[in-house]
């Protein structure tokens, strides 16, 4: 007999229309027949129904796929069997932190302090996925606890994402692909669990990342994002509208400490008053595990990789010349120093370095030959400050370091990425590098797409750094 008591609905499921109640009963009956009596909770059924606008057929298909996925990957055993890797305990900048004003469990992720590459090379993509699923399964238990502890149904959690420190390092291509895969898996199997997402301290590069990631996030979920740039998150209309004042984390100017382990009650799955959010930081390469993460294009040194391998010896210079005809486009780079120290600099010249082509941007690799110790700029007899300018200060990169960065190319002209071996009496230095130009219409357009995809938006600055163009 499939019936729903009105008091049960009000207390544990919230407000339902007659139509929604009817379709919940229909889905429960179908799943009971499919699962031979083993039926997920009504709150779970409702989440999948809401994700499919109460279309029972579509919700049944989505839920059936998810139940098969859970069985195949033994997801029901994650809470009891998952052991948090040491590198996650030390360097993953996320954790549960009390609750918001609606009684939702609150999860904090300090994404700007997260070393995606370091975590992937330490625990691999599957390791990061298992961590994410463990967090999601904890969240489901917290929702049950929150509903029992409050006087109303709590169906979703709140997420606070701090982007302070976010830079082009977070746009490392293999890392972004891994994160997108994880987002897709979570979207398919934990629908309607995210009640609100508060984004604070969003820097200038965030619109680029948002443009990439947002297309993989369900439209209904995107509508729950609220964005705050600068320090306006503590102003009226900011975090205090959603999080109790005494629970605002200390790193955002609030009184609540997040770096001290607090467990007021410890019984199975009772994490509701639990708060510990590690500050994150770069994962030491000594913690990397060989083979933990393999880029999908293959080994970085393979010929078909997007990365190029370069050896530099006895003061040799390697340069990439990027001809830019698209002002406000963004030049990005990512390289690993595999041996010895290398100096890296970015220059710009208004003068022609080689015959331009019809493409908006083109690149020419320069290195070796009779003038192997001299820059292409020096070979022309040009002088710095007169014929070309240093737009990014020289950075001395040490053996084993991984460097990512970006420069907004405000002007047309030639931009030179330069790597120079500083050691004269040593075996050749080695690096692998990748560079890319992000078109200005993607960069500028991402701001409007960010605003249109948000239910609330507050003063997110679109300003970019980089030298201004000289007057002509």
Q: What is the pLDDT of residues 153-184, one digit of tens each?
A: 999 999 999 999 887 677 777 788 888 889 98
Q: What pLDDT, on a 0 to 100 scale, did the predictor assign at position 464?
A: 30
pLDDT bracket for residue 186 (50, 70, 90): very high
H or E, element range at 319: strand 317-324
Question: Looking at per-residue confidence, does 241 or 457 come out higher?
Answer: 241
Q: What is the mean pLDDT of the chain?
A: 80
Taken in order of first residue, the domains within the chain and their CATH numbers are 6-72 (1.10.8.20), 84-288 (3.40.525.10), 308-442 (2.60.120.680)
Pairing of strands 105-109, 94-99: antiparallel
**pLDDT score of 191 more than 90:** yes
Q: What pLDDT, on a 0 to 100 scale, did the predictor assign at position 462?
A: 30
Q: Is 14 helix (H, G, I), strand (E, B) or coil?
A: coil
**pLDDT score of 216 more than 70:** yes
Angle between helices 173-189 and 56-72 (to 10 degrees): 120
Rounded Cα distance, 311 and 304, in Å:
18
Instruction: Give the count of alpha carbons within 13 A of 2, CB side only.
Output: 16
Q: What pLDDT, on a 0 to 100 scale, did the predictor assign at position 329?
A: 86
pLDDT bracket for residue 392 (50, 70, 90): very high
Q: Assess contact for 416 and 333: CB atoms under 8 A.
A: no
Identify the burial level of 20 via C-beta atoms within 10 angstroms of its C-beta, where 0-12 means exposed, 13-18 middle and 19 or more buried: middle
- Tokens, residue 166: 């976010």
Q: What pLDDT, on a 0 to 100 scale, did the predictor assign at position 301?
A: 35
pTM for this model (two decimals)? 0.72
373: left (phi over 0), alpha (psi -120 to 50) or beta: alpha
pLDDT bracket for residue 461 (50, 70, 90): very low
Q: What pLDDT, on a 0 to 100 scale, did the predictor assign at position 274?
A: 57
Phi, psi of 393 (to 5 degrees): -65, 150
For the ranges 54-63, 288-297, 331-340, 463-472, which has the lowest average pLDDT?
Answer: 463-472
Q: What pLDDT, on a 0 to 100 scale, did the predictor assign at position 364?
A: 52
Rounded Cα distance, 224 and 381, in Å:
57
Tell me what percent of the residues of the chain surpass a pLDDT of 70: 80
- Tokens, residue 282: 């770069």
Average pLDDT, integer, range 381-409: 87
Rounded Cα distance, 198 and 196, in Å:
7
**pLDDT score of 189 more than 70:** yes
Q: Is 218 helix (H, G, I), strand (E, B) or coil?
A: coil
Rounded Cα distance, 447 and 430, in Å:
38
Q: How many helices (H) and strands (E) does the chain have?
A: 12, 15
Rounded Cα distance, 224 and 226, in Å:
7
pLDDT bracket for residue 270 (50, 70, 90): very low
pLDDT bracket for residue 75 (50, 70, 90): very high
Q: What pLDDT, on a 0 to 100 scale, did the predictor assign at position 131?
A: 96
- Tokens, residue 111: 């994404």
Q: How far is CA 203 from CA 91, 115, 180, in A?
A: 22, 17, 21
Edge to edge, the sheet with strand 429-438 lists 308-312, 429-438, 329-339, 402-409
User: Cβ–Cβ contacts within 10 Å for residue 36, how many?
Assistant: 7
Pairing of strands 317-324, 413-421: antiparallel
Q: What pLDDT, on a 0 to 100 scale, did the predictor assign at position 74?
A: 95
DSSP output for 325-380: -STTEEEEEEEEEEES-EEEEEEEESS-SS---SSSEEEEEEE-STTTTS-HHHHT
Rounded Cα distance, 238 and 161, in Å:
13
Q: What pLDDT, on a 0 to 100 scale, did the predictor assign at position 302?
A: 38
pLDDT bracket for residue 360 (50, 70, 90): very low
Average pLDDT, integer, range 377-383: 84
**pLDDT score of 362 more than 70:** no
Per-residue exposure over 369-407, b if at least 16 CB sit within 10 Å of its own CB, e if not: eeeeeebbbeeeebeeeeebeebbeeeebeeebbbbbbb
């Amino acid at each position: 007999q499939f019936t729903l008591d009105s008091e049960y609905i009000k207390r544990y499921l919230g407000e339902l229309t007659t139509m929604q109640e009817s379709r919940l009963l229909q889905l429960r009956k179908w799943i009971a027949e499919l699962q031979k009596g083993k039926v997920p909770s009504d709150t779970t059924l409702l989440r999948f129904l809401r994700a499919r606008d109460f279309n029972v057929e579509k919700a049944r298909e989505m839920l059936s796929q998810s139940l098969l996925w859970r069985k195949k990957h033994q997801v029901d055993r994650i809470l009891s069997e998952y052991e948090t890797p040491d590198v996650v305990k030390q360097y993953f900048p996320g954790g549960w932190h009390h609750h918001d004003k609606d009684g939702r469990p609150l999860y904090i992720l300090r994404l700007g302090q997260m070393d995606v590459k370091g975590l992937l090379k330490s625990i691999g993509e599957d390791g990061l996925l298992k961590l994410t699923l463990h967090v999601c399964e904890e969240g489901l238990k917290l929702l049950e606890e929150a509903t029992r502890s409050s006087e109303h149904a709590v169906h979703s959690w709140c997420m606070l994402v701090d982007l302070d420190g976010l830079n082009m390092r977070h746009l490392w291509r293999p890392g972004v692909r891994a994160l997108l895969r994880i987002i897709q898996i979570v979207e398919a199997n934990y629908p309607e669990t995210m009640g609100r997402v508060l984004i604070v301290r969003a820097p200038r590069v965030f619109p680029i990342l948002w443009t990439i990631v947002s297309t993989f996030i369900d439209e209904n979920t995107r509508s729950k994002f609220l964005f705050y740039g600068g320090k306006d998150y503590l102003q009226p209309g900011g975090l205090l509208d959603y999080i109790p004042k005494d629970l605002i984390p200390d790193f955002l100017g609030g009184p609540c400490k997040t770096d001290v382990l607090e467990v007021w009650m410890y019984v199975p799955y009772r994490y509701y008053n639990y708060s510990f959010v590690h500050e994150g930081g770069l994962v030491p390469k000594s913690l990397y595990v060989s083979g933990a993460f393999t880029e999908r294009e293959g080994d970085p040194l393979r010929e078909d990789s997007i990365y190029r391998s370069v050896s530099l010896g006895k003061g040799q210079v390697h340069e990439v010349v990027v001809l830019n005809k698209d002002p406000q486009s963004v030049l990005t780079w990512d390289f690993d120093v595999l041996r010895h120290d290398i100096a890296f600099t970015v220059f710009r010249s208004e003068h022609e370095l080689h015959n331009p082509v019809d493409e908006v941007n083109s690149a020419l690799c320069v290195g070796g030959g009779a003038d192997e110790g001299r820059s292409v700029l020096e070979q022309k007899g040009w002088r710095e400050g007169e014929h070309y300018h240093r737009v990014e200060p020289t950075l001395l990169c040490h053996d084993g370091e991984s460097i990512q960065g970006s420069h907004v190319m405000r002007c047309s002209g030639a931009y030179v990425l330069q790597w120079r071996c500083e050691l004269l009496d040593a075996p050749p230095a080695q690096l692998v590098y990748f560079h890319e130009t992000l078109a200005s219409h993607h960069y500028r357009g991402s701001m409007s797409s960010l605003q249109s995809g948000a239910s609330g938006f507050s003063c997110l600055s679109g300003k970019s750094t980089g030298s201004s163009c000289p007057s002509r």
